[in-house]
Amino acid sequence: MGKGEYMNKKIFIIIILLIIYLVFIIVPFKELLIQLGKYNYYRTDNWKLVEKSSDPIYDKIMSLEANIENRYNNYFPFYESINSMFYTSIIKTNSLYLDDIYLKDNNDEDHIFYDKNNNFYYLVNKYSNKELTNRMNEQINFYNDINNEYPDINIAIYLPLRYEMTTFKNVNNINNYVNTFKVSLNNDIKLKIFDVNSTSEYLSYYYKTDHHYNSYGAEKAYLDIMEMYDLNNDLNIKHSIIKTPYYGSMAKSTLLKKQYDDLSAMQIYNDLKVDNVDNDFKPLVIKNKDNTFYDYYVSYFNGAYGEVIYHNNTSYNKNLLIFGDSMSWQIDYLLANSFDNTYVINTKYSPWTSNDLLLKDYIKDNKITHILFLRESKNTLFDADNFHIDKKVIR
């Protein structure tokens, strides 16, 4: 072996050892400093607001980018295994002295933690206390404005609080904000909170690897809303497992198979008709995909539309307007059985990415009697994902 060849081999070995050192020594040590409060990964600055584009060319490019990313994640040699080994090493190392282990930030820049004792993931919000307070005040003004402008409309807000929204582990103590939110709303606005009192109760209603409630949690939310509106439930609800194993959005962020869920759904019979550009709206069919971390929740409930209208063959003289997101997809069609017409608006999608909703005209044209805000609590309270519903809905 020549001297040059020997040096190249030596450099290669040094690089490999350095990588191993970085992964198994520096990263866990950094996480230790974070947990001990010696190093701060929580961002306290104000985050730049990013508008989503409704340009079809841009959307196609983003779709292509997501497709490439999925294929890269699932077909690049050892990519999934390397990620899994990396985060498993963090969990094993930090498990020696921690019960709750920070893993990474997701695409929304929320912080993903792993609960060692109960084997599930949860999120912690990214905002400072000052930013949360300012955002919540804007949202409170928005709900009160609608109530003041339309006193004859039955307005209700449902908060499906997840584990990270109530636990003391959240550095910003979200409970204080929830209590302030409750007392700051106009008295005419109905408010009900999907709260949990223990980890075991939480895990019976929510997925371990995803941020949505499971079908039992969705049924509880549905029944809570029916009670809030003083309506009777006449549906014969049955639950079924539709996909297992299911790796939700938080598992997808780390490509960890350490934990999985059984994706469940409620099965009901209804005679609703739907106005939508897609005739296959909410087909409730599982697709078979090679991608281990394929988003079966989004695919199955298929609610990614800016506007959906349900028509019921009834004469209740009640029409419901839901401002929803993926937390409403499991139950909007259940609620629609108790109204003549149900209108579902999601400001995340077109046309609301570029257009405003004139609420006065929408209420008049569709004879709206009830308005329900059924979104992720972080968006209901803080507009955390910057969908700007308070700006897009013109009162």
> Cα-flanking dihedrals φ and ψ of residue 201, to 5°?
-65, -40
If you count them, how many residues does the chain have? Answer: 395
Do 330 and 215 contact (CB within 8 A), yes or no?
Answer: yes
Instruction: Write out pLDDT tens, residues 49-87.
Output: 233 445 666 556 656 665 665 555 555 556 677 778 888
Q: Counting runs of H as helices and runs of E as strands, what totals does the chain give?
A: 15, 14
pTM of the full structure: 0.80
Q: How many CB atoms lie within 10 A of CB 115?
A: 19
Which helix (H) or strand (E) covers residue 58, if one does? helix 56-75
Q: Does the structure show a pLDDT above 90 at 41?
A: no
Instruction: Write out pLDDT tens, residues 159-204.
Output: 998 766 655 454 456 778 889 999 999 999 999 998 887 788 888 9
Q: End-to-end alpha-carbon separation of the chain, Å?
A: 79
Cβ-proximal residues to 33 (8 Å cutoff; 6+ apart), any chain: 39
Query: Could you give the CA distance from residue 113 to residue 292 in angstroms, rounded to a whole number?
Result: 21
* Omega within 30 of 0 (cis) for the link into 283: no
Which helix (H) or strand (E) covers residue 247, if one does? none
β-pair partners for 263: 243
The alpha carbon dihedral of 21, 27, 28, 33 has a sign of: positive
Burial of 75 (0-12, 13-18, 19+ CB in 10 A): exposed
Q: Does the structure show a pLDDT above 60 at 310?
A: yes
Instruction: Write out pLDDT tens, residues 223-245.
Output: 999 999 999 998 999 999 999 99
Position 155, amino acid: I
pLDDT value, residue 20:
67
Burial of 323 (0-12, 13-18, 19+ CB in 10 A): buried
Q: Read off the pLDDT of each residue in 327-353 and give the average, rounded to a whole number.
A: 94
> Cα-flanking dihedrals φ and ψ of residue 208, to 5°?
-80, -30
E strand spans, 106-161: 111-115, 120-124, 154-160
Query: Could you give the CA distance from residue 203 to residue 150 in angstroms, rounded to a whole number?
Result: 39
